[in-house]
Amino acid sequence: MHDKASALRKKCFTAAAAVVFLWMFLLNCLTPYIADDFTFAYAFDTGLRLHSLPQLLKSLAYHYYEWSGRVVVKFFAQGFTMFPKVLFNLCNAAAYLALALVIYRLARGRRTGRYDLVVFALILASLWEISPAFGQTNLWMCGACNYLWASLGCLAFLLPWRYYLQKPFAGSWRLTAGMALAGLLAGWLSENTSAGMLVCLVLCLLALLIRHHRIPSWMWSGFAGSVAGFVILIAARGNYNRASVYGDYESFLTRYAVRFFNCLNMLKEYALPLLFAFVILFVLLVFQCSTDKTGYGPIVWPVILLLGGLAANFAMILSPDYYERSTHGPFTLLTAACAACAVQLSGRTLRKALTCAAACAGLVCTFHAAEAGYDIASYYVMYQTRDGLLRTEAAELGEQAPQAELVSYAIEPYTHWCAAYGLPDIREDSSDSIGLCRARWYGVGGITATEARTYPFPGHMNDAYAAGQAQAEDSAS
């Protein structure tokens, strides 16, 4: 009987993972090139269309010195533009599912036997619901490589540390060398997410020292590699070139007070459900530890993940801007902290409560998935229509196309699940880098928009739809 129940849980777990992969693959297929995707299709140093690895590496070297140190994720963001987009669609859907599975393994550790479908469902609900810029960080090619893939790399690097804290194991010179290289890449991924990961590593080392446990060589090499990668990331000359163009408060105290409250507001506006969930689950876990009289060791790992998530969030104090998409790494670590508490709750009543919470979260996700699907599909249809018109106009111009400027329209989506939400589309001024690269993509001199269009979406409103309604009312009167 127990074997049948275990097999059923495994099948349900696998089915849930398959549904998530197929759903994300569909949404990726319905997401076209947007904003910076056009810019990343061309070499930063020469402006030529990317078509080879040497050309890509030279472009990234130029980017490192002129704009940003995030060349590891930019390698993928630019590299994918050299292939049919379906390759990215497959890889990105797999990356999203892999992130959910990595969070699950971070929470569960090396426990075997039971597939905890309830906790996995809550992890998936958190990834879908909490992000304030879901489309930008999980569907947009440039954004997904910068945020989804960075979060996946940093959290995956934490897995061996999680396993060792749970039960020490013997290492080898291969593991020591591999962790050094993996740490270098993980530390080089993202300024705030890598910073949160580093805080987790330091806290792991402190936990082992407090317990008087031996720290293996692979931990030291992994930590050294991650510090080295983070230094390379932060020391990029491009970071300081970019910072020089931002305006900021002259007063030191005012500048950092404003940045601190920007970070605090991100937590208050978007992460309160995660923080409330953590407090509830953590208190229940503490009560369980005190009742079982097994010690408070189980609370260490959730606290490490919580502090790592908070550190990743407040690391943005060092940046003049905190975009909503930059919350991906911090909120992912907070999700892992909640899951690390939930997976250890064992009482029947508590498990029933978690099951009820997962069922309610699933209902909310279902409604929002329907809305997201409609928004993303509608945007895609309008985008394809516009794309066909622009290509037809460019073809009709013939040899005059490179000097011609086409007049088109912008498309405005409704929800943050759509990758285009909050990102620049075709604008009145086409002279910025995105506009120039978009024009080059179509083989014309420029593309400008004289209006913004949208599609009907009952229960939702955006600026383009409101403007259309006002114009219709004026015409009627």
Residue 429 has pLDDT above 90, yes or no: no
Tell me which residue of 123, 117, 87, 92 sits closest to 23, measured CA to CA: 92
Q: What average pLDDT score do residues 411-417 get?
A: 95
Confidence of residue 459 (pLDDT cuts 50, 70, 90): confident
Residue 453 is inside which H or E element, if any?
strand 446-453
Region of 30 (left: φ > 0; alpha: ψ -120 to 50; beta: rest) is: alpha
Of 124, 308, 280, nearest in space to 203 by CA = 308
Q: What is the pLDDT of residue 321?
A: 87
Report the C-alpha gap between 85 and 139 in whole angstroms. Answer: 12
Segment 306-317 mean pLDDT: 96
Which range has the worst mean pLDDT, 38-47, 182-191, 428-437? 428-437
467 Cβ contact partners less than 8 Å away, ≥ 6 residues apart: 452
pLDDT in tens, 95-128: 999 999 999 999 998 866 578 899 999 999 999 9
3-state secondary structure of 422: coil
- Which residues lie across from 453 on neighbouring strands? 411
List pLDDT tens digits, range 6-56.
788 889 999 999 999 999 999 999 999 999 999 999 999 998 999 999 999
Amino acid occupying residue 58: K
Higher pLDDT, 2 or 452: 452
* 8 A C-beta contact, residue 445 and residue 51: no
What is the C-alpha to C-alpha distance for residues 333 and 157, in angstroms, rounded to an integer?
Answer: 13
**Per-residue model confidence as pLDDT tens digits over 356-373:** 999 999 999 999 999 999
In angstroms, rounded to a whole number, what is the distance separating the alpha carbons of residues 264 and 271? 10
The pLDDT, as a whole number, for residue 428 is 81
Q: How confident is the model at residue 200 (pLDDT cuts 50, 70, 90)?
A: very high
The residues pairing with 49 across neighbouring beta strands, listed in sequence order, are 42
pLDDT of residue 61: 93
**Confidence (pLDDT) at 383:** 95
3-state secondary structure of 208: helix
**What local confidence, expressed as pLDDT, does residue 244 receive?**
59
pTM of the model: 0.94
pLDDT tens figures, 351-360: 899 999 999 9
* pLDDT for 2: 59
Question: What pLDDT score does 477 carry?
Answer: 64
Distance between CA atoms of residues 182 and 221, nearest Å: 10
pLDDT reading at 232 higher than 80: yes
Mean pLDDT computed over every residue of the chain:
91
Report whether pLDDT(168) > 90.
Answer: no
**Whole-Å CA distances, 189 to 68, 184, 199, 275:** 11, 9, 15, 25
- Which tokens hold the place of 414? 């409704």
Residues 141 and 95: beta-carbon distance below 8 Å: no
Residue 5 is predicted with a pLDDT of 74
pLDDT, average across residues 405-417: 93
To the nearest 10 degrees (0 to 180), the angle between helices 85-108 and 2-29 is 140
pLDDT of residue 67: 86
Tokens of 308: 């790592």
pLDDT in tens, 248-302: 666 788 888 999 999 999 999 999 999 999 999 999 999 988 887 777 788 999 9
Bridge partners (DSSP) listed for residue 447:
406
Q: Which of 152-166, 340-354, 393-407, 427-441 has the highest mean pLDDT?
A: 152-166
Instruction: Check the CA dihedral 136-142-144-146 and report its sign.
Output: negative
Q: For residue 279, what are the CA distances in angstroms to 276, 306, 339, 439? A: 5, 10, 12, 51
Asked if 131 contacts 331 with a C-beta cutoff of 8 angstroms, the reply is: yes
